């Protein structure tokens, strides 16, 4: 040990010793400069978030649907999409309670009622909403017509009306109806095959023509379908039927050629039937030519008009309905007072597009006729009602006759297409 006696050296040694003890050694044994540890942050009292103002509700433009109504309707249609039609009906009721004249609300209500209770329930809901107003909601009436047609199309008991309903739906481009017709036709269903042919399906036209050649059942119905097809393939088939032994078939053929002649030059094929030995065929030929603007058979029609028989006069007027001038209308109007109820109904139907007030008085009386056949004739107005008379067409959707309902519904779809 070295003894330090110099006070100054002693002071320097003590200072060095103190500094060495205060500085920690590095892993390599070298001293390093320490940095002061950062102070922990002072605790802060959490402040509540600043209150945010409620998001303002979107406003609709003047005249647009309100936001509240839109929300109710959106929820209602969402329920329909989930198959919860009764809940959707309740939602529609809320819409109509707040907005009684809402067309969108009644559309939802009717749709929900159709889904849960069928056409009848939907019709009743619409009629209740409509009340005493005379102006119809065309889109709702159209929806009811579709529902009515589907109800009939699925009713196996109404054979003729069922096929007519499928025809109307298929003509309205309903793919499901077209598929049902096609499936039945390919399985040998003649009514369905006639419908497909009448819509211009070439395969069906050829199949129907082949059936006629083989002497198939109900040739008149097949001829009518071929005439409605508008197909050139139907022309030689109908021309050949002009020589059929049955006058009913010959009459149907000449009438069908009259329809096809609007697209093809067939007047020369029709004229020889004016000399047919049966008056029924001669009149059909005269009517076909008259409708095409050819006067070759007009003398025959004028003779019918001069006869005492009310039926003869009605047939003549039906044949000349393509030119409903004032003189024609006066003659039809006189027949609405005929003693035979079937003549009155036939005349009223001819007059309906031209003098609806007079025609309706006759038809309303016939609806209460004791003869059920007359009542059905009076109710079967579908194709005779003017397209502008939507209210009457809607009323006919509740007819007791399935065929009358179907024809009225089909006319609605055609009118509102």
Q: Which residues pair with 31 in a beta bridge?
A: 25
* For residues 119-142, average pLDDT: 94
Residue 196 pLDDT exceeds 70: yes
Q: Would the pLDDT of 128 be above 90?
A: yes
pLDDT tens for each residue of 349-373: 999 889 988 998 898 888 788 998 8
What is the model's pLDDT at position 416? 93
Residue 173 is classified by DSSP as: T
- How many whole angstroms separate alpha carbon 373 and alpha carbon 346? 13
pLDDT score recorded for residue 13: 46
What are the extents of the domains in the chain? 67-130, 307-381
Can you tell me the distance from the alpha carbon of 356 to that of 345, in angstroms, rounded to the nearest whole number? 13
pLDDT above 90 covers a percentage of the chain that reads: 67
Judge whether 347 and 329 are in contact, CB under 8 Å: no
Angle at 337 between CA 333 and CA 343, to 5 degrees: 85
Q: Are 129 and 165 in contact (CB under 8 A)?
A: no
Give the pLDDT confidence score for residue 50 in this predicted structure. 54
Rounded CA gap, 140 and 184, in Å?
A: 31
Instruction: Calculate the average pLDDT of the chain.
Output: 86
7 vs 117, residue with greater confidence: 117
Give pLDDT, residue 389: 80
Q: Which two tokens stand for residue 176?
A: 């499901």
Chain length of the chain: 417
| Residues 222, 240: Cα–Cα separation, whole Å | 14
- How much is the pLDDT for 105? 96
Write out the H or E segment, with its range, that includes residue 83: none
**Number of alpha helices (DSSP H) and beta strands (DSSP E) in the chain:** 22, 0
Q: What's the pLDDT score for residue 375? A: 83
**Coil, helix or strand for 5?**
coil
Q: Is the pLDDT of residue 44 over 70?
A: no
**Tokens encoding 129:** 């909403």
Q: Which residues contact 365 (CB under 8 A, 6 or more apart)?
A: none
In the predicted model, is pLDDT for residue 19 greater than 70?
no
CB distance 296 to 271 below 8 Å: yes
CA 244 and chain centroid, separation: 40
Q: How confident is the model at residue 161 (pLDDT cuts 50, 70, 90)?
A: very high
Residue 79: CB atoms within 10 Å? 20
Alpha helices in 214-278 (DSSP H): 219-229, 234-241, 247-260, 267-270
pTM assigned to the model: 0.73
Going by pLDDT thresholds of 50, 70 and 90, the confidence category of residue 32 is very low
- Top-confidence residue, 12 or 19: 12
209: nearest Cα among 267, 256, 168, 271? 256
| Tens digit of each residue's pLDDT (9 = 90 or more) over 264-308 | 889 999 999 999 999 999 999 999 999 999 999 999 999 999 999
């Amino acid at each position: 040990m070295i003894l330090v006696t110099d006070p100054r050296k002693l002071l320097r040694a003590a200072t060095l010793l103190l500094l060495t003890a205060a500085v920690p050694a590095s892993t390599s044994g070298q001293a390093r400069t320490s940095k002061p540890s950062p102070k922990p942050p002072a605790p802060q009292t959490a402040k509540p978030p600043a209150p945010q103002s409620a998001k303002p509700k979107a406003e609709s433009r003047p005249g647009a649907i309100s936001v509240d109504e839109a929300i109710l309707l959106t929820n209602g249609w969402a329920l329909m999409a989930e198959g919860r039609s009764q809940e959707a009906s309740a939602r529609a009721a809320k819409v109509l309670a707040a907005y009684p004249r809402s067309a969108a609300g009644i559309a939802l209500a009717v749709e929900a009622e159709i889904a849960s209770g069928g056409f009848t329930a939907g019709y009743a809901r619409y009629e209740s909403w409509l009340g005493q107003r005379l102006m119809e909601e065309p889109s709702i009436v159209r929806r009811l017509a579709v529902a009515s047609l589907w109800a009939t199309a699925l009713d196996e008991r109404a054979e003729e009306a069922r096929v007519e309903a499928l025809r109307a739906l298929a003509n309205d481009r309903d793919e499901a109806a077209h598929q049902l017709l096609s499936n039945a036709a390919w399985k040998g269903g003649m009514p369905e095959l006639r419908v497909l042919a009448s819509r211009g399906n070439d395969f069906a036209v050829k199949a129907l023509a082949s059936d006629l050649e083989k002497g198939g059942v109900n040739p008149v119905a097949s001829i009518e379908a071929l005439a409605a097809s508008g197909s050139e393939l139907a022309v030689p088939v109908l021309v050949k039927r002009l020589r059929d032994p049955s006058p009913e078939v010959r009459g149907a053929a000449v009438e069908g050629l009259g329809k096809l002649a609007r697209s093809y030059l067939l007047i020369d094929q029709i004229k020889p039937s004016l000399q047919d030995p049966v008056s029924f065929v001669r009149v059909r030929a005269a009517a076909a030519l008259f409708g095409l603007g050819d006067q070759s058979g007009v003398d025959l029609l004028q003779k019918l008009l001069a006869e005492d028989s009310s039926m003869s006069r009605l047939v003549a007027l039906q044949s000349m309905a393509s030119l409903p001038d004032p003189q024609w209308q006066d003659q039809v109007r006189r027949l609405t007072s005929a003693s035979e109820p079937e003549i009155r109904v036939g005349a009223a139907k001819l007059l309906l597009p031209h003098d609806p007030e007079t025609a309706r008085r006759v038809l309303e009386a016939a609806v209460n006729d004791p003869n059920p056949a007359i009542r059905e004739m009076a109710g079967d107005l579908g194709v005779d009602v003017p397209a502008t008379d939507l209210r009457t067409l809607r009323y006919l959707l509740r007819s007791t006759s399935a065929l009358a309902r179907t024809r009225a519904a089909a006319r609605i779809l055609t009118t509102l297409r």
